[in-house]
């Protein structure tokens, strides 16, 4: 990068370095930015956003007309929906192009996109986050399956948001095949300037984040800029003497930092809603029982129904808006301690916050950098995700990213929805003036919403129903009045709330006819009572009798030991007795599948349990087992092998069922 000015941090004058170090004013810092630079900004809503730098950059542009034609690259939405965050940079001439995960919190940027004043691309949030690491490593780009089948896919919109981008914008995403599987290739974009935020910096530019709510992509972005021969500006709230910071707390090493700016207090709030909350930065823990309960409403009905999908020991993601209510219900029902709730910027455990505090959390177990959180998500680490749904069509496609002239963007939605083991979409059945009453009799539609949400075709495909169904991903769509499930043919109606008329309140308000294979069952009546639902008992206690089921039509015996903890010899004996009681009257051997997901057993009982398994094998024609626990597969597999029983334990139910079907086919042939 060519420098035609003498910046105080870029001079070779040794005396200046010793006198001033890397600490400069905001005005001096933004002079690093040149025309046509690619600028990366950190932040999640308001957490971690360098507001002081953004304010100064806006002021400098309005006074001088420069810098001009910047490309803005950012992973998450950064703004308050009004004037803060990236809204400061929304000036024609200042910005030429944006490449970001979310734009909904920056209405002024939306206006430039809508008026075709700038080029605009959406990438999935996790992809942008991971792309910084690949840029830092001088890789050509990021290869990912995230985005296939959605508007990000080059065979659809290639993430291009307006006509100007479709006509003049370069293609930043390619489709490629590796080992016979399709992937998307997101091209690397060298970063000229990274604008980041921390808490404390020393004069050498080492930065800690002890009072920040999130650490985000700061390290990856700093490396991406530095290895692109670019510059790194970090906003902090205070400075420290050289060598006085705890090295283990340094999140951005000084070797990556060019300028440090000490912000005014009003431009360094912890989030855009909280000046400072010590529980957000893990300095104290709050009493969860003191958190307010939700008022009974359509929103609470949806959250309560969704909470029935929770399972003990699950790792969960909650999207912004409607899904936030699931955490509140879990806390009310005293089951939150049996779950691990997460948020995409790196929060693990505790209670995620909502609104302008979204992305942060209280009483968390751990905080990791955002790229690693998306590595975990993309690799299938989430057991279940609860996400919003603004539009749904008959194929099960979901739109949360574009509505007429309003551009929102997917944020982390595509990463999460494509890769979670199970996905639950939440939203009211209609929008715009919907009024309902809720009592023990169920739901009554007092005033229907003006805007149907179940439409003939979604405006933009943020989630692909066909792609999900092809991968046999379990998906539910929960509203206040009914529940749908995704099947190969599309959306199937499976539940309806008491008090709701199927024809008038559901079918007549939809833009397509859902699949109805059998009369929908009623939603659980406890959802509509004002007292606790007793979810804790449901979550932790499944009677053994309900775990063992036989289907005469398939001659299939299903053993559901998910989340079962065997603690005594008596429990092993009971299992043996129930199997005998169910299968003895059948009069023939049965095909069997055993689910060992999250199964646990006292170590000294493993041998006794395996002997019981050997005994009940007399009832089985063939048996397959599955669990996602590698340790359990090895431990139980070894015990079965010692007893001359088939030792192989599959990883998923689909694999176990497929293996059993193959055994049946061999025998029949």
Q: What is the DSSP letter of 463?
A: B
Radius of gyration of the chain (CA): 28
**CA gap 427, 433 in Å, rounded:** 14
Buried b (16+ CB within 10 A) or exposed e, 361-393: bbebeebbbbbebbbbbbeebbbbbbbbbbbbb
Gap between the Cα atoms of 125 and 371, Å rounded? 10
The beta strand positions in 20-161, using DSSP E, are 23-24, 38-41, 70-74, 95-100, 119-122, 141-144
Helix, strand, coil percentages in the chain from 3-state DSSP, rounded to 5: 30, 25, 45
The strand pairing partners of 318, in sequence order, are 386
| Annotated active-site residue in 344, 448, 492, 495 | 344
448 is catalytic: no
- Report whether 477 contacts 425 (CB < 8 A): yes
CA 527 to the chain's CA centroid: 26
With a CB cutoff of 8 Å and minimum separation 6, the contacts of 649 are 596, 625, 626, 627, 632, 633, 636, 637
DSSP SS3 for 505: helix
Helix (H) / strand (E) element for 470: namely helix 465-470
Check if the beta carbon of residue 18 is closer than 8 Å to that of residue 12: no
Residues with Cβ within 8 Å of residue 119, at least 6 apart in sequence: 96, 97, 98, 162, 164, 165, 168, 169
Separation between Cα atoms, residue 575 and residue 462, nearest integer Å: 45
Cα 366 to chain center, whole Å?
16
- CA pair distance 526, 532, nearest whole angstrom: 8
- 218 closest CA partner among 240, 202, 194, 239: 194
- Beta carbons within 10 angstroms of residue 181's beta carbon: 9
Q: How far is CA 332 from CA 22, 326, 351, in A?
A: 49, 10, 12
How far apart are the C-alpha atoms of 546 and 552, rounded to whole Å?
16
User: Strands 23-24 and 649-650, how do they pair?
Assistant: unpaired
Q: Are 129 and 374 in contact (CB under 8 A)?
A: yes
Q: For residues 573 and 555, give the distance between their C-alpha atoms in angstroms, rounded to a whole number.
A: 24
Count of CB atoms situated within 10 Å of the CB of 318: 29
Residue 660 burial (CB count, 10 A) = 19
Catalytic residues: 344
């Amino acid at each position: 990068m060519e420098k035609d000015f003498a910046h105080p941090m870029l001079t070779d004058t040794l005396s200046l370095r010793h006198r001033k170090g890397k600490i400069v004013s905001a005005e001096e810092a933004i002079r690093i930015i040149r025309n046509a630079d690619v600028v990366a900004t950190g932040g999640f809503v308001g957490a971690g956003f360098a507001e002081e730098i953004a304010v100064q950059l806006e002021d400098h542009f309005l006074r001088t007309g420069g810098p001009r034609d910047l490309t803005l690259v950012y992973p998450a939405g950064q703004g308050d929906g009004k004037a803060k965050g990236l809204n400061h940079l929304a000036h024609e001439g200042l910005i030429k192009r944006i490449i970001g995960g979310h734009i909904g919190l920056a209405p002024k940027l939306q206006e430039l996109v809508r008026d075709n004043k700038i080029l605009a691309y959406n990438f999935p949030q996790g992809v942008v986050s991971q792309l910084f690491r690949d840029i830092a490593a001088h890789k050509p780009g990021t290869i990912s399956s995230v985005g296939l089948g959605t508007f990000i896919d080059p065979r659809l919109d290639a993430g291009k948001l307006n006509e100007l981008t479709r006509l003049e914008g370069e293609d930043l995403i390619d489709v490629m095949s590796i080992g016979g599987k399709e992937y998307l290739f997101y091209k690397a974009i060298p970063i000229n300037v990274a604008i980041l935020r921390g808490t404390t910096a020393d004069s050498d530019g080492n930065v800690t984040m002890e009072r920040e709510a999130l650490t985000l992509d700061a390290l990856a972005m700093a490396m991406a800029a530095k290895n692109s021969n670019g510059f790194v500006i970090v906003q902090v709230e205070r400075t420290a003497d050289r060598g006085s910071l705890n090295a283990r707390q340094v999140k951005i090493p000084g070797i990556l930092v060019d300028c440090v700016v000490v912000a005014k207090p009003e431009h360094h709030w912890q989030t855009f809603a909280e000046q400072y909350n010590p529980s957000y930065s893990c300095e104290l823990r709050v009493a969860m029982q003191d958190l307010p309960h939700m008022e009974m409403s359509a929103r609470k009905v949806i959250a309560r129904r969704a909470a029935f999908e929770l399972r003990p020991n699950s790792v969960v993601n909650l999207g912004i808006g409607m899904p936030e209510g699931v955490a509140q219900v879990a806390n009310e029902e005293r089951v939150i301690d049996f779950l691990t709730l997460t948020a995409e910027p790196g929060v693990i455990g505790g209670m995620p916050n909502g609104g302008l505090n979204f992305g942060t959390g209280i009483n968390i177990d751990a905080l990791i950098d955002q790229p690693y959180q998306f590595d975990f998500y993309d690799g299938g680490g989430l057991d279940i995700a609860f996400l919003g749904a603004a539009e749904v069509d008959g194929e099960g496609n979901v739109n949360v990213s574009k509505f007429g002239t309003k551009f929102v963007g997917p944020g982390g939605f595509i990463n999460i929805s494509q890769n979670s083991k199970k996905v639950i979409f939440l939203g009211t059945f209609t929008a715009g003036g919907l009024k309902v009453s809720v009592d023990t009799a169920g739901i009554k539609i007092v005033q229907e919403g003006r805007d149907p949400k179940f439409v003939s075709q979604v405006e933009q495909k943020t989630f692909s129903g066909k792609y999900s169904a092809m991968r046999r991903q379990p998906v539910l769509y929960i509203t206040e009045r009914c529940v749908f499930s995704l099947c190969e043919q599309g959306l199937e109606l499976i539940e309806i709330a008491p008090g709701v008329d199927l024809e008038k309140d559901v079918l007549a308000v939809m833009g397509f006819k859902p699949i109805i294979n059998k009369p929908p069952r009623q939603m659980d009546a406890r959802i509509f009572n004002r007292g606790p639902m007793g979810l804790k008992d449901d979550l932790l206690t499944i009677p053994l009798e309900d775990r063992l089921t036989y289907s005469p039509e398939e001659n299939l015996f299903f053993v559901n030991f998910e989340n079962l903890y065997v603690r005594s010899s008596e429990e092993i004996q009971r299992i043996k007795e129930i199997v005998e009681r169910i299968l003895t009257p059948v009069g023939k051997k049965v095909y069997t599948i055993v689910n060992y997901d999250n199964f646990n057993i006292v170590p000294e009982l493993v041998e006794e349990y395996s002997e019981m398994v050997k005994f009940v094998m007399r009832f089985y024609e063939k048996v397959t087992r599955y669990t996602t626990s590698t340790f359990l597969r090895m431990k139980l597999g070894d015990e079965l092998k010692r007893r001359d029983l088939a030792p192989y334990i599959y990883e998923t139910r689909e694999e176990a069922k497929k293996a059993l079907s193959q055994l049946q086919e061999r025998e029949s042939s």
